[in-house]
Amino acid sequence: MKHLFALLLPLLAAVAWASPPACPDGSRGLQRPLAEEARELEKDAERCADDPGYLAWRGAVLLELGEPRQAADLLERALLLAPDHQGARLDYARALAALGERAAAQALFTELAARDDLPPAVRDLLAAPPAPPIAARWQGSGSVAFRVGYDSNLNRASHSSQLTLTAPGGDLVLPLDPRTRAQAGNFQEIEARLLAARTGPFSPPVEIQARLLARAASGRADLDQEQLEILGLWRPNPDPKALYFLAGVSELRWQGALLQRAMRGGVYRAGDANPWPSCRPWFGLDLEERRHPAEALLDHQLVQAQASLVCDGRQPWVVQLAVGRELADRRPGGDAWRLAARALGQLPLKGGSRLEAEARLMLRREDEGYSPLLEHGARLAAASGLLRLAWRYPLTAELEVIVSGELERQAANLPLFTLSRHAVSIGIARRW
């Protein structure tokens, strides 16, 4: 199969999806060394992200360079956009075979061999045994960012400045300790993200993601915080519609002390219908255990069902809706229902910069009264929202400037649980 790449060039040119001239699709053949071609194709990744001819060509190039995992991802997206792209289908089968997914690869080879419109040279290649799988290995990427900024509510305290107790003899209004109110100030933070993926012969792909965020408030060591998140993803079957399994753990530390630890597990599956090109619905179920070492009364579990629409085109975006139930052990207010919505997307701008936006909304209502001294034992009902905007401008292929802003609000029938904050920051990030 060493001559497969050259033999596939006419096939790719003949069946490539009609695409804008600016998006290379291999129709003119290989004009430069493979490694150089791969670097040039990477430059067009954003503006040609929803062009199946480009995706198929780039996948073919990466496959010949010994990168079957990246190639498989690109070829899978090409087939979502153009299911009849036979060149992409053949290369996708080759990529799966190289990854050790022999059963799925053989099914695709058999399907292609049954067609009567393939060139004889390609049919001969299909009759040959697939290439042996590559050895198992890890591949990684990551980023680190440093930011400085201002936050109007570093400690995420209540917006209210007083506490009203509803006693039998009448309301009693007490001022809150100034130290427990919202504290505004400057901050510095560093964020690191890591991604590691492992593929190997006859083994399902595994992906590990990690994120570490450390924030220090200027002159206020009592407001320092650290967050750590680690997630593992496992897909036993290479079929795009197969189940994904997730497991993770996260920690939140305040002033060096562990404030919350969460353990999470979930299962997800892609939907059968694609309402728009390059978009795919997802459905999943999450289970989460949250523990608070400093205050065990707050411990609870979360069971959540969610539906998402993920679009990977030139302007990628995600919309997610989740319905969940909080099961509390001894927490005031008892169990609670929650409805959450989230949307995020990217907009490419001139000069290679891009605008990122994220919006969140959550409605939450507890089953029992929080306290007989707060609004005569009323059940807590709250609505919270967050809007985040970020502008990223590339300085080099790996270095970029980030300017961002956040606006967060929470309204509640119990004033003690209201919240208001805004933040702005500027920083620099490096990817590898």
Residues 52 and 149 in one domain: no
In this structure, are 269 and 312 located in the same domain? yes
Claim to verify: residue 326 and residue 208 sit in the same structural domain: yes
* pLDDT tops 50 at residue 19: no
Beta-carbon contacts of 301 under 8 Å, excluding residues fewer than 6 positions away, are 287, 288, 289, 290, 326, 327
Per the domain annotation, does 108 fall within a domain?
A: yes
What does the alpha-carbon distance between residue 82 and residue 57 come to, in Å, rounded to a whole number? 13
User: Which tens digits make up the pLDDT trace of 393-421?
Assistant: 999 888 999 999 999 999 999 888 899 99
pLDDT digits over 26-66, tens only? 777 777 777 778 888 887 887 788 888 888 888 888 888 77
Residue ending a domain, among 97, 127, 157, is 127
Last residue of a domain, one of 127, 147, 181: 127
Based on the fold, state whether residues 364 and 420 are members of the same structural domain.
Answer: yes
Q: What is the CATH number of the domain that holds 24?
A: 1.25.40.10
Token pair for 250: 């996260």
Is there a contact between 87 and 26 (Cβ–Cβ < 8 Å)?
no
Does the residue 132 lie in any domain?
no
Residues 197 and 105 in one domain: no
pLDDT value of position 275: 63
* Residues contacting residue 44 through CB under 8 Å, at least 6 positions apart: 22, 23, 24, 54
Closest by CA position to 50, among listed 211, 371, 276: 276
Q: In this structure, is residue 180 part of a structural domain?
A: yes
Identify the pLDDT of residue 5: 40
Domain match, 102 and 38 both: yes
Q: Is there a single domain that holds both residue 162 and residue 37?
A: no
* Residue written as token pair 């000069």: 351
Per residue in 292-320, pLDDT (tens digit) is 998 888 899 999 999 998 887 667 789 99
**pLDDT band for position 6 (50/70/90)?**
very low
Mean pLDDT over 365-369 rounds to 91
Residue 180 shares a structural domain with residue 309: yes
Q: Is 377 left (phi over 0), alpha (psi -120 to 50) or beta?
A: left
What does DSSP assign to residue 293? T
Q: What is the mean pLDDT of residues 228-234?
A: 93
Q: Give the model's pLDDT for residue 132.
A: 54
Shared-domain flag, residues 184 and 69: no
Residue 233 inside a domain? The answer is yes
With bands split at pLDDT 50, 70 and 90, how would you rate the model's confidence at 285? very high
Task: Place 186 in a pLDDT band, splitting at 50, 70 and 90.
Answer: very high
The proportion of the chain whose per-residue pLDDT surpasses 70, expressed as a percent, equals 84
Domain assignment of residue 331, yes or no: yes
* Cβ–Cβ under 8 Å, residues 341 and 360: yes
Tell me, yes or no, whether 70 and 165 share the same domain.
no
Give the pTM: 0.70
Token reading at 233: 């993803």
**pLDDT of 276:** 67
Q: What CATH number corresponds to the domain at position 182? A: 2.40.160
Q: Is residue 358 over pLDDT 80?
A: yes
Asked if residue 13 belongs to a domain, the reply is: yes
**Which structural domain range is residue 36 located in?**
4-127
**List of residues 6+ apart from 363 with CB closer than 8 A:** 338, 339, 340, 382, 383
First to last CA, the chain: 33
- Within-domain flag for 61: yes
Pick from 99, 127, 155: which residue ends a domain?
127
More confident residue, 103 or 208: 208
Total number of domains constituting the chain: 2
Asked if 425 and 340 sit in the same domain, the reply is yes
What percentage of the chain carries pLDDT values higher than 90? 38
* Contact call for residues 208 and 245 (beta carbons, < 8 A): no
| Whether residue 111 is found in the same domain as residue 143 | no
Identify the weakest region by mean pLDDT among 38-47, 188-197, 357-366.
Answer: 38-47
Nearest of 402, 428, 408, 403 to residue 420 by alpha carbon: 408
What residues are paired with 388 via a beta bridge?
A: 358, 406
Mean pLDDT of 64-71: 80
Q: What pLDDT score was predicted for residue 16?
A: 39
Inside any domain, residue 187: yes
